[in-house]
């Protein structure tokens, strides 16, 4: 199977030649072929949440704490990547692995088909591949941002996070990548404020429990 991470990913020292060969081999072995076909099941309810804010409200902290507070119950990339959590995925429209729906098999959702380009991934890289990049040795930017935007997309679609829309999340990723990705790229949540990769990740984590 082809390597699903683009070796020209901007700002990622691993993608510029620093990834060990055994890590590459693991990435080559991973992905779609190893995943089971998933039967769709009803999601169970979730309970406790955390206070969260919109990006602009979060950007104003700690100078202002008067923004509207929301209750978020988003889940982390570590939650969504687990095989036992596949029944929690909002399927349709997003599928972690090839999934039987009625008499049809739906393919696993690919990252670029949803988030577009520029991208550090090939067109065959799935959401699940991206969620598991840290397991394959790709822990830093842009992969940390990518893992969290995939998790947040699933959270938004489930109705677990209401401080973001899918469109806003896609804008966040696109602006981050078009301004350089890696450690150089940024997102502007409000005029005069730039969020780099760690800021973006910290915000997205603030909506997760």
The predicted structure's pLDDT at residue 59 = 72
Residue 41 lies inside a defined structural domain of this protein:
yes
Answer whether residue 1 is part of any domain: no
Residue 17 included in any domain: yes
The 8-class DSSP code of residue 108 comes to P
- What single-letter DSSP state applies at residue 192? T
Residue that the structure tokens 């929301």 belong to: 70
pLDDT at residue 37, rounded to an integer: 52
- Angle made by CA atoms 114, 105, 27, in degrees to the nearest 5: 55
**In-domain check, residue 4:** no
**Distance between CA 203 and CA 195 in Å, rounded?**
9
Model confidence pTM above 0.85: no
Through-space distance between the first and last CA atoms of the chain, rounded to whole angstroms:
35
**Per-run averaged pLDDT (10 residues), the chain, 209 residues:** 56 39 38 46 51 82 61 96 98 96 96 98 98 96 98 98 96 98 97 96 96
Please check whether residue 3 lies inside any domain of the structure. Answer: no
Give the count of beta carbons closer than 10 Å to the beta carbon of residue 125: 26
Range of the domain at 50: 13-205
Q: Which two tokens stand for residue 171?
A: 């804008």
The count of domains in the chain is 1
Whether residue 110 is preceded by a cis peptide bond, meaning omega within 30 degrees of 0, is no
* Inter-CA distances, 74 with 31, 39, 164, Å: 24, 23, 11
């Amino acid at each position: 199977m082809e390597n699903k991470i683009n070796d020209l990913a901007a700002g990622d020292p691993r993608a510029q030649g620093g990834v060990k060969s055994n890590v590459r081999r693991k990435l080559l072995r991973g992905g779609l072929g190893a995943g089971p076909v998933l039967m769709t099941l009803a999601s169970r309810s979730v309970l406790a949440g955390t206070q969260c804010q919109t990006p602009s409200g979060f950007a104003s902290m700690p100078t202002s704490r008067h923004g509207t507070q929301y209750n978020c119950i988003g889940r982390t990339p570590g939650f969504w990547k687990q095989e036992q959590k596949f029944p929690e995925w909002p399927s349709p429209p997003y599928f972690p692995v090839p999934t039987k729906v009625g008499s049809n098999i739906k393919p696993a959702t690919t990252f670029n088909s949803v988030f577009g380009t520029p991208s550090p991934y090939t067109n065959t890289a799935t959401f699940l591949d991206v969620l598991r990049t840290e397991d394959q040795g790709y822990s830093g930017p842009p992969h940390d941002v990518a893992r969290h935007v995939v998790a947040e997309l699933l959270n938004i679609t489930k109705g677990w996070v209401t401080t973001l829309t899918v469109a806003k999340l896609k804008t966040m990723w696109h602006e981050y990548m078009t301004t350089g990705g890696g450690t150089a790229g940024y997102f502007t949540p409000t005029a005069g404020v730039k969020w780099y990769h760690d800021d973006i990740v910290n915000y997205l984590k603030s909506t997760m429990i």
